[in-house]
Amino acid sequence: MSRARRGLLLVGLASGLVGVLLVASPGVARGVSLTGAARTAPVAVVGVAAAALAARSLLNALSGDAASDSGGKAATADAFPSPERRPQYDPSGAEFARRVNAIEWTDRRDAEPANRRELRDDLRGAATSVLSRGDGPSPSEVETRLRDGSWTDDPLASAFFAGDLVPSLSPSGYARALVRGEPPFARRARRAAAALSKRSGAGDVTPAPSADVRAAFGDEPAVRTSRYLPDGEESLERESATDRVHGVTAAALAVGGLGIVTLRPGLLLLALFGITVSGYARAVPTPSQAVAVERAVSDAEPAVGDEVEVTLSVRNVGDATLADLRLVDGVPPGLAVVDGSPKFATALRPGKRASVTYTVEAVRGDHAFDPALVVTRDALGVRKRETLVDTETTVSCRPPAKPLSGRAPARTTTRAGRSRSDAPGPGVEFHSVREYRPGDPPSRIDWRRKAKTGEFSTVAFHEHRRQRVLVVVDARTEAYVAWGGGGDSDSDGDGDGNGEPVVQQGVAAADALASRFRSAGVPVGLAALSPRSCRLPPGRGGDHHRRLREALVANPAFGWEPPDGEVDASAAVHEIHRRVRADTRVVFVSPLSDDASVTAARRFDAHGHPVSVLSPDPTARTHARGYESGYASLARERRLRRLRAAGIPASDWDPTEPLREVTRGGQSRATTSR
Amino acid sequence: MVKAVPRRPDSAPPLRSSGGALAAATGAAVITAVSVPALAMGALGVLSLAGALTFGVESAYAPGIALLAGSVVLAGVLGLTPPFLLAAAFLVLLAWDVGKHGFSIAREVGREPSTFRIEAVHGLSSTLVYAAGATLGYGIYAGVTGGRSVVALLALLVGSVALLFALQARK
């Protein structure tokens, strides 16, 4: 307490005592009688002073709030942990929906509304590729159709390409748009995207955003307990006092001041509430955090899909009763709570114990529990202490190895080996016949043809080469797209955020691919295209294979939480390229949710690696599709086509189907595209 | 998962807290209804609180409490006797505290776990603390009305204001 405040406290106490004394024995003050200004002035001065103090107190409280908000952790400071949900994964197309939502009324005032122009250019690209696909009009013809609007019967969709970036509307149309609250340009963009997806043959695509996207934009993100307190490991504890006390004090001062000025004793008395509350807040100690937390799981190594019961018990090991104890268990990001709640609240006398049980569903991965967050408050709730109590528990869920049957894909390295490749060269199996070139070995010249026609020709065979394979999983933030429809398969249908990232499908595919290459005797390695690095150079043997599968389960790069931070795809590819031999074949598993994934695949190609892309489709399970999901599918199709045009075999995989079928299909497509 | 019918938003405080806060607020509005403006303010305040509690809008709670506090002040200015004024203020404070506590429960614990114990402990404690304030006020009122010494009043004034300011718990 500062000296000034201590002085004030003394004055207050002394004056209060004198007052009480005078009230108790009125005779003491009988000699002193005040009249006139001396009687009213002090009253007025104290009243005004009280009002001024109230204002100051209020200002202090407000600026205190502002300071705590700007403390750098604003995003996490307010959001209380909600670990029962999985992290919110963006549904596919969320990026596009964000761009459409970013179109504002005020854009129209800019000389060059850049975001509108970019949006239209992107949609125009999609339109060109969709319209020139089936009946195949030339790009200039498509351009004409876009301009005269004959490509669709939706007037709003056609107006998107035909009209201006800042649509000119009739006054009534403008008024209607104002009532709707959405800029006409954004509305047209949605309609155009929906019309295009309909044209491309996608089923029900509504021009409205899907429920998944609305939920993703509306819901608060799930916060892990370990991220709740600022600075992570540094501070496992935080004390704070609520502003409620300041509010009550300020109000009491103001009311007291008003009472003094208006000479209403009743109002003045109300100031006493302020004294009571402030005094209580001063006197009450910060509640103790002397609790012991224990966690038990019914099964530490469950199979995928098993339900695991978690029991969290807390005991008051201090000497004081905890009037208000709230507990939030640190459920790992991958485990979704299916029954019960990992939060609970109780009052605990010393030595007593309370516990809570909830059920989580096991999914692939090593899931280490975050520390449990214990919040204790005094009885009135003016002071609270938040503590992270670490009790280490890990649930580790490993799916059994399921090698895919079937022939390993025949794309190989340039070195001689045991595998039959698609490259023509020396060998035993017939591949093709071509014109003779000087230098071809005489043994491969087709002498019979020479005798018949007089021309030299060379027979090529399937060359036998050795394979090395690196499976690269795209696990960038952009690849953590929700594997569609996780929300509406729930019983209550409100999409409570237990979606699954499509990265997990990619990880499962990588696991299956690695097992298959292994059974074919091909050295296989693993890498993640992610800010969290994971690299395992190709190798062979049981130990190596076990390490690889372990990495797929336990490495944070393949975790359930999207990584923090960005990664430059080209640089990451270069980094991976430097660590493997240049002739290693790369199988790139990516949902192709953005253009950088295409860049990554092409960079592998540019570095000389034979590349193939396996792309799990994030919209495979989506039923109710909004315009954004339709656009995302269009964009993804274009990316697949771009890859194939660049000579990179790319297979589109619906993760609800077994992988085997697709890689076979991909294989045949790969051979035809070469 | 069985949910309460009719369904309330997740940000709405538990029913017990909401009910308690609303009852206290209604009581305060009834006590302060000495004139039409005060009654109007009180009724508006109660309505605003009811809306905030039902739909789980925490930002609408403080304005409702402010309206109720305004009706208390108005009643005081219009000359409501101190015992009633103290009772009304006591109820407003209780509504404020219980409601805010309910919102914090909704935010931090959610609906599923039972929160009866902490609600009960908190409700009782705040009733006690605020009742202590009201009793203190009533005691002084009863004492001063006998004596009517201006100096005593002044001394109490200076004392209360200085104490209020000095005691503010500020970290």
pLDDT band at B20 (very low <50, low <70, confident <90, very high): very high
pLDDT at B42 over 90: yes
CB-nearest partner of A256 from B143, B148, B160: B160
Mean pLDDT for B30-59 is 91
CB contact under 8 Å between B133 and A262, yes or no, is no
- Which residues in chain A are closer than 8 Å to B72, comparing Cβ atoms? 255, 270
Confidence at residue A417, expressed as pLDDT on a 0 to 100 scale: 58
Name every chain A residue with its beta carbon within 8 A of the beta carbon of B168.
Answer: 57, 245-246, 249, 278
E strand residue ranges, A457-610: 457-465, 469-474, 524-529, 535-539, 585-589
| 8 Å CB contact of A269 and B86 | yes
**Predicted confidence (pLDDT) at residue B26 exceeds the cutoff of 90:** yes
A513 Cβ partners below 8 Å, 6+ apart? A404, A469, A471, A524, A587, A589, A614, A659, A663
CB pairs under 8 A between A and B: 259
Beta carbons of A380 and B76 less than 8 Å apart: no
Q: In this complex, do B151 and A42 lie within 8 Å of one another by their Cβ atoms?
A: no
Q: What residues have CB less than 8 Å from B124, skipping those under 6 apart?
A: A379
| pLDDT per residue as tens digits for the range A571-613 | 888 988 888 887 788 999 998 888 889 999 999 999 888 888 9
Name the nearest CA neighbour of B52 among B103, B109, B88. Answer: B103
Q: What is the pLDDT of residue B45?
A: 93
DSSP A606-629: HTT--EEEEEE-TTTT--SB-HHH
Does B130 lie at the interface with A, CB-CB under 8 angstroms? yes
- In order of their start, the domains of chain A are 94-209 (no CATH), 291-395 (2.60.40.740), 416-465 (no CATH), 469-673 (3.40.50)
The amino acid at residue A434 is R
Question: What does the pLDDT average to over A624-652?
Answer: 86
Question: What is the model's pLDDT at position A666?
Answer: 38
Give SS3 for A403: coil
CA B116 to chain centre: 20
Chain B CB within 8 Å of residue A277 CB: yes
Q: Listing from the earlier edge strand, what are the strands of the sheet with A336-339? A: A291-297, A307-316, A353-361, A336-339
Asked if pLDDT for residue A104 goes beyond 70, the answer is yes
CA distance A108 to B16: 51
Q: In this structure, are residues A210 and A369 in contact, taking their beta carbons and an 8 Å threshold?
A: no
Question: How many Cβ atoms are within 10 Å of A66's Cβ, its own excluded?
Answer: 9
Confidence of residue B44 (pLDDT cuts 50, 70, 90): very high
Residue A652 has a CB neighbour count (10 Å cut-off) of: 18
Residues of A in contact with B130 (CB under 8 A): 273, 276-277
Q: What are the extents of the domains in chain B?
A: 15-167
pLDDT at A4 over 80: no
pLDDT of B50 reads: 93
Asked if the Cβ–Cβ distance from A272 to B140 is below 8 Å, we say yes
Q: Rounded distance, CA A165 to CA A187, Å?
A: 12
Mean pLDDT of A313-339: 87
Pick B159's closest partner by Cβ from A16, A246, A343.
A16
Pairing of strands A524-529, A535-539: antiparallel
The answer on pLDDT for A24 being more than 50 is: yes
- Alpha-carbon torsion A510, A511, A515, A521, what sign? positive
Structure tokens at A526: 């693993």
CB contact under 8 A, B166 and A381: no
Question: Which residues 57-96 in chain B show a CB within 8 A of chain A?
Answer: 69, 72-73, 76-77, 79-82, 85-86, 89-90, 93, 96
Q: How many angstroms separate the Cα of A436 from the Cα of each of A199, A348, A443, A457?
A: 49, 91, 12, 4
Per-residue CA distances from A643 to A363, A372, A586 (Å):
32, 47, 14
Cα–Cα separations (whole angstroms), residue A525 to A119, A513, A597, B156? 40, 11, 20, 82
Please tell me which residue of chain A has the smallest CA distance to B106: A80
Please, which residues 42-71 of chain A have a Cβ atom closer than 8 Å to chain B?
42-43, 46, 49-50, 53, 57, 60
CA distances from A486 to A65, A221, A493 (A): 38, 16, 10
**Is A373 within 8 Å of chain B by CB?**
no
A125 vs A629: CA distance, rounded Å: 17
Question: Amino acid identity of A598?
Answer: V
Contact B69 A356 (CB under 8 A): no
Listing DSSP states for A2-64 in one string gives: -HHHHHHHHHHHHHHHHHHHHHH-GGGGTT----HHHHHHHHHHHHHHHHHHHHHHHHHHHHH
pLDDT tens by residue, B131-148: 877 877 777 777 666 555
What confidence category does residue A496 fall into, taking pLDDT thresholds of 50, 70 and 90?
very low
A443 or B136: whose pLDDT is higher?
A443
Is the pLDDT at A310 greater than 70? The verdict is yes
Distances (CA, A) of A558 to A74, A225, A511, A555, B146: 28, 20, 12, 6, 79
A40-44, A80-84, A420-424, B132-136: segment of lowest average pLDDT: A420-424
Q: Given the structure tokens 């005078």, which residue do they identify?
A: A22
Beta strand A237-241 pairing with A336-339: unpaired
A282 or A568: which leads in pLDDT: A568
**Mean predicted confidence (pLDDT) in A277-298:** 83
- Whether the ω angle into residue B14 lies within 30 degrees of 0, i.e. cis, is no
Of B77, B96, B166, the CB nearest to A8: B166
Say if residue A491's pLDDT is above 60: no
Q: Which residue of A has its CA nearest to B74?
A: A267
Interface contact A429, partner B, CB < 8 A: no
CA end-to-end span of chain B:
43
The percent of residues above 70 in pLDDT, for chain B, comes to 80
A-contacting residues in B 131-170 (Cβ below 8 Å) = 132-134, 136-138, 140-141, 143-144, 146-170
pLDDT digits (tens, 9 = 90+) for A196-232: 888 777 667 777 777 777 777 777 667 777 777 765 5
